Structure 1
Amino acid sequence: MSQQETGWGALLSGTNAIRSLALAGGVALHAINVYVATTILPSVVKDIGGIDYYAWNTTIFVATSILGSALSARLLGLAGPRGAYLVAALIFALGTLICGFAPSMPALLAGRAVQGFGGGFLFALSYAMIRIVFPETLWPRAMGLVSGMWGVATLIGPAIGGIFAEYGVWRAAFWSLAPVAVLFAVMAVAILPGRSPDRNERTTVPVLQLVLLIGAVLAVSAGSVSPDPIHNLLGLGAAIVLVALLIGVESRARNRLLPRGAFRPSTALGALFATMALLGVTVTGSEIFVPLFLQVLYQQTPLIAGYLAAVMSAGWTLGSISSSGAQGKGIDRAIFAAPLLSFVGMAALAVLFPLGSGQDWLLLAPICVAFAAIGLGVGIAWPHILTRIFKAAPADEQDITSASISTVTLFATAFGAALAGMVANLGGLIDPGGVTGTASASRWLFGLFALAPLVCFLTVRQVARTCPVKNSGAAIAVEPGAA
């Protein structure tokens, strides 16, 4: 197998280059929108009101993204790759226009729901298309390219939102995304195949599981926005109960939300999904409050704080792209690096952040190194974890597997964000607040979230046992029956 067949040149040349742009662009569009909305939301509230529903902009967007992601296999089966991607891009564009013209917060929330639905489709379909339009030898590099778009979005999204917000035209931030979505729709029609090779796959929608999953997201999100610890615990408890019910229903269901073995940690899929979820929670919990901590504890401007926080995503992007060509035992080493670097980075942040007392770059420099370590560790492992999920999944559930990657990722994002809010609030962010409360909150947040990569050490060991590498090629082989 030549380097030309497995290298970046094969992925980024000819027809593959256009396909790569379309698929990576779908994830980038979804991700950039997340950061644009976060940046302009304070300006939105000043203009149309609705401060009481501030957090629901994220909650509704993530919940409908999960719904779209979970339904993507159904859409792919009905419309084929070309039609599915076209529908997803147009739904996203419609939601974007609704947001841009929204006269009130309820209307904006309706637009965010439509946006999230289309974005969830785009997110899941981008991963699903990789195994359809590229040869297996290019899967790891394609995974690395698509995963790396979140890092790109973190650099671009705040800049787009910040510029429009600075000039008082927040609506234009939404409008600017609509023509880009239409462009990707046109590209999909031009270069994606009309039919999927998996036409025989079952695509029945698992309605009950979706209700339980989205209910868990809404429960933990609703509980996290309250400063009352009782409400926090009730929301978390309700989410845990709903997830337990989901596991029970999924284990007996004929129409599943996730592929067989996904909820059993002793299987290859169970270990891989657990690893992916733990790493997702780690990054989300680390990232969500970083700009606030930098502004309060280190007196950085919002713009500088935003871009310092982006060091973590830049590390993720660099790690994903640089490790995507790993082969043989190098793949196992990449996966084991994720919890190690993440734990070291989180532990360093737990120690360094509370020491802040002004613009002290002697502390900010190692903090940025810790950000980079966390992002780099997850990025190095991410494309190989996703590729192994595809390889470990049952052959008749590849579409479900494609959708489940984004479903689990989005759920981990929502759960991590909500849990981070809960820990920060209980750690002193609101009471006593100020510098003292923020320092205490940072210590509790990073200290507790360092437990996630510790648990991840156990899951990656299980991955190594159940997903042994059988050759040194770019494609990853799994022992038959491991799933």
Structure 2
Amino acid sequence: MITDDKSRWSDLFSGKNTAITIALSLGVALYAINILVATTILPSVVQDIGGLDLYAWNTTLFVVASILGSVLSAALLNRYGARGAYLVASLFFIIGAMLCALAPSMPVMVVGRAVQGFGGGLIFALSYAMVNLVFEQKLWPRAMALISAMWGIATLVGPAVGGIFAELHAWRWAFGILLPIMVLYAAFTFCILPREKSQQQSVALPLMQLLLLAAAVLIVSAGSLATSGWVNVGGIILALLLVVWLVRREGHSSARLLPQAALRRGSALVPLYATVSLLVIGMTSEIFIPYFLQILHGQSPLISGYIAATMAAGWTLSEILSSGWRGAGIRRAIVSGPVLVLLGLLALAVLMPIPSDGGWQALGPIVAALTLVGFGIGFGWPHLLTRILQMAPEADKDIAGASITTVQLFATAFGAALAGMVTNLAGFISPGGVAGAASAAYWLFLVFALAPLLAIYSAWCSVVMNEPENEVDNVKPTPNSSEC
């Protein structure tokens, strides 16, 4: 079916779209701000309550819980409608933030982050899942770009909130300030979102796949605590075996994480999901950037938070730039994005490990490299996500919307666990200090450059599997192809 592909940004803020657009965008903004706040203040948290060995676990468990929330979002939407689903999600987020604000030790902090992650994952997934429910298809790319662009807003707010409270030695208030904001957000969504429940038939939850997915991430995270390289390698092998089991289970189960036949050989969804995953894995190296900047380059929590956030700023800028492209422009954006990410990570592997006095002669190139990584990820991002929605079977549109978040969060969790393993093996904890941070930075960015290198091939495959006229005419692409 051919549809009118002409759309304007103003269409998202006209009539009944206005309130919905604000609600969905704010949800992702709050989720992103929370992540950047936590990333910025984590070095201060470690100084206060200890737990350097659990540094990466703050991100890993937060994201694993977010995955659980994202998968449950479709069932929650079916059962309670948008209004009830957002209310439940907000309550979990509020409880988690309270636990973090009151945490006396790092294990309690990690638990709080997990609860917060569950609520945040619900909000994050609901925001994406509702795009195809409330907007015309011609608005999907712009809606996806706008929602994802909230990470850009977060780059302004998150590091400021985290950095200011960290410098005031009041990091707990960085979580506490989120409480009244989330209460207001819950009230807003309850008032403006529709109360009607989804008319689609509810399906069984893919509990086995969720268990395998969480186990794979946690095994890599647990292995990262060991000092033996063999233990770490064994953890990765076991995790990969669990992922293979998950893929086989997904292909034969009626309760699925992904649209039907999404992982079948020859499916055009495979390279799309692979590209999204690899790009996100490449970006998860950012969780250690504030620590590296403070230890190696003498930056304050506030400045280090803002420098780390330039990666998200680059992502937002390129999304806005490319969201309205069509045809050949889309194909160029999807394929060239991973190349830019690769160049940025290789530059960071060279620049970040060299200690400096914090002058802009040293920091300027680092900022440019971080921005390049984010720019490469965002370049084809809205079109990758739109293609996933377009190619999903009509009966699986809800699953497709939630799957975007599930895949993105799984890649984030796996990447965070892998980052913890690489840095620990490279000397992050022992010897620690400047020498350990320098070694960890070098190996982290070098190893993670493999992700965009692989994404170049998967992105090319995702383009080959779609006829050029699909982007021009907005025709739904063929779900399966054997061209790549």
Task: Give the alignment's TM-score, normalised by structure 1.
Answer: 0.91
Distance of 1:392 and 1:267 partners within structure 2 = 10
- Structure 1 position 171, deviation (Å): 3.4
- Structure 1 position 44, deviation (Å): 4.8
Distance of 1:431 and 1:41 partners within structure 2 = 19
Residue in structure 2 matched with residue 239 of structure 1 by the alignment: 239
Residue in structure 2 matched with residue 448 of structure 1 by the alignment: 447
Distance of 1:311 and 1:65 partners within structure 2 = 24
User: In the TM superposition, what whole-angstrom CA distance separates every residue of 1:130-184 from its partner, at most 9, and x where no partner exists?
Assistant: 1112111111111111112223323322221232333344333223212222222
- Structure 1 position 408, deviation (Å): 0.9
Percent identity of paired positions between Structure 1 and Structure 2: 53
**Is 1:30 aligned to residue 31 of structure 2?**
yes
- Structure 1 position 306, deviation (Å): 2.2
Tell whether the 8 Å contact from 1:264 to 1:271 is kept in structure 2 after alignment: no
Residue in structure 2 matched with residue 17 of structure 1 by the alignment: 18
Residue in structure 2 matched with residue 73 of structure 1 by the alignment: 74
**Is 1:225 aligned to residue 225 of structure 2?**
yes
Residue in structure 2 matched with residue 477 of structure 1 by the alignment: 475
Distance of 1:369 and 1:27 partners within structure 2 = 25
- Structure 1 position 381, deviation (Å): 1.0
Per the alignment, in what secondary structure is the counterpart of residue 6 of structure 1? coil
What letter is aligned with 2:210? L
- Structure 1 position 76, deviation (Å): 1.1
- Structure 1 position 360, deviation (Å): 5.0
Distance of 1:374 and 1:272 partners within structure 2 = 19
Distance of 1:348 and 1:105 partners within structure 2 = 33
Per the alignment, in what secondary structure is the counterpart of residue 479 of structure 1? coil
Tell whether the 8 Å contact from 1:266 to 1:462 is kept in structure 2 after alignment: no
Distance of 1:440 and 1:111 partners within structure 2 = 31
Q: Residues 429, 169 of structure 1: CA spacing in aligned structure 2 closer, same or farther, 3 A cutoff?
A: closer
Residue in structure 1 matched with residue 324 of structure 2 by the alignment: 325
User: In the TM superposition, what whole-angstrom CA distance separates every residue of 1:109-143 from its partner, at most 9, and x where no partner exists?
Assistant: 44333222111100100001111121111111111
Farther off after superposition, 56-65 or 409-418: 56-65
- Structure 1 position 70, deviation (Å): 0.9
Tell whether the 8 Å contact from 1:265 to 1:271 is kept in structure 2 after alignment: no
Distance of 1:260 and 1:108 partners within structure 2 = 38
Distance of 2:471 and 2:56 partners within structure 1 = 47
Tell whether the 8 Å contact from 2:163 to 2:305 is kept in structure 1 after alignment: no
Tell whether the 8 Å contact from 1:95 to 1:114 is kept in structure 2 after alignment: yes
Residue in structure 2 matched with residue 278 of structure 1 by the alignment: 278
Tell whether the 8 Å contact from 2:53 to 2:225 is kept in structure 1 after alignment: no
Q: Residues 299, 36 of structure 1: CA spacing in aligned structure 2 closer, same or farther, 3 A cutoff?
A: closer
User: In the TM superposition, what whole-angstrom CA distance separates every residue of 1:167-213 from its partner, at most 9, and x where no partner exists?
Assistant: 344333223212222222222233322335x6234421111111111
Residue in structure 2 matched with residue 191 of structure 1 by the alignment: 192
Distance of 2:143 and 2:55 partners within structure 1 = 36
What letter is aligned with 1:195? E
What letter is aligned with 1:220? V
Residue in structure 2 matched with residue 253 of structure 1 by the alignment: 253
Q: Residues 398, 108 of structure 1: CA spacing in aligned structure 2 closer, same or farther, 3 A cutoff?
A: same
Distance of 1:104 and 1:176 partners within structure 2 = 20
Distance of 1:452 and 1:148 partners within structure 2 = 23
Tell whether the 8 Å contact from 2:167 to 2:302 is kept in structure 1 after alignment: no
Distance of 1:297 and 1:303 partners within structure 2 = 15
What letter is aligned with 2:296? L
User: In the TM superposition, what whole-angstrom CA distance separates every residue of 1:367-418 from its partner, at most 9, and x where no partner exists?
Assistant: 2222111111111111111111000111111111111111111111111122
Distance of 1:253 and 1:93 partners within structure 2 = 34
Farther off after superposition, 75-84 or 175-184: 175-184
Per the alignment, in what secondary structure is the counterpart of residue 416 of structure 1? helix
Structure 1 residue runs of 5 or longer lacking an equivalent are none
Per the alignment, in what secondary structure is the counterpart of residue 326 of structure 2? coil
Distance of 1:228 and 1:157 partners within structure 2 = 36
Per the alignment, in what secondary structure is the counterpart of residue 478 of structure 2? coil
User: In the TM superposition, what whole-angstrom CA distance separates every residue of 1:412-437 from its partner, at most 9, and x where no partner exists?
Assistant: 11111221222223334445545444
Tell whether the 8 Å contact from 1:148 to 1:320 is kept in structure 2 after alignment: yes
Tell whether the 8 Å contact from 2:162 to 2:302 is kept in structure 1 after alignment: no
1:317-396 map, 5 Å: 317-359=316-358, 361-396=360-395
What letter is aligned with 1:152? I
Q: Residues 144, 202 of structure 1: CA spacing in aligned structure 2 closer, same or farther, 3 A cutoff?
A: same
Distance of 1:89 and 1:176 partners within structure 2 = 15
- Structure 1 position 318, deviation (Å): 0.8
- Structure 1 position 273, deviation (Å): 0.3
Residue in structure 2 matched with residue 421 of structure 1 by the alignment: 420
- Structure 1 position 330, deviation (Å): 1.2
Residue in structure 2 matched with residue 113 of structure 1 by the alignment: 114
Q: Residues 289, 174 of structure 1: CA spacing in aligned structure 2 closer, same or farther, 3 A cutoff?
A: closer
Farther off after superposition, 38-47 or 114-123: 38-47
What letter is aligned with 2:333? A
Residue in structure 2 matched with residue 312 of structure 1 by the alignment: 311
- Structure 1 position 262, deviation (Å): 2.9
Tell whether the 8 Å contact from 2:160 to 2:305 is kept in structure 1 after alignment: no
Q: Residues 266, 360 of structure 1: CA spacing in aligned structure 2 closer, same or farther, 3 A cutoff?
A: farther
Distance of 1:459 and 1:50 partners within structure 2 = 38
Distance of 2:56 and 2:315 partners within structure 1 = 26
Q: Residues 362, 95 of structure 1: CA spacing in aligned structure 2 closer, same or farther, 3 A cutoff?
A: closer
Distance of 2:299 and 2:427 partners within structure 1 = 21
Residue in structure 1 matched with residue 461 of structure 2 by the alignment: 462
**Is 1:125 aligned to residue 126 of structure 2?**
yes
Q: Residues 306, 226 of structure 1: CA spacing in aligned structure 2 closer, same or farther, 3 A cutoff?
A: farther
- Structure 1 position 94, deviation (Å): 2.9
Residue in structure 2 matched with residue 139 of structure 1 by the alignment: 140
User: In the TM superposition, what whole-angstrom CA distance separates every residue of 1:303-338 from its partner, at most 9, and x where no partner exists?
Assistant: 322222221111001111221111222111111121
Tell whether the 8 Å contact from 1:275 to 1:460 is kept in structure 2 after alignment: yes
User: In the TM superposition, what whole-angstrom CA distance separates every residue of 1:421-470 from its partner, at most 9, and x where no partner exists?
Assistant: 22223334445545444433333222222221121111112111223342
What letter is aligned with 2:87? L
Residue in structure 2 matched with residue 303 of structure 1 by the alignment: 302
Q: Residues 98, 430 of structure 1: CA spacing in aligned structure 2 closer, same or farther, 3 A cutoff?
A: closer
Distance of 2:111 and 2:135 partners within structure 1 = 36
Residue in structure 1 matched with residue 213 of structure 2 by the alignment: 213
Q: Residues 276, 76 of structure 1: CA spacing in aligned structure 2 closer, same or farther, 3 A cutoff?
A: same
Q: Residues 76, 481 of structure 1: CA spacing in aligned structure 2 closer, same or farther, 3 A cutoff?
A: same
- Structure 1 position 231, deviation (Å): 3.3
Task: Give the alignment's TM-score, normalised by structure 2.
Answer: 0.90
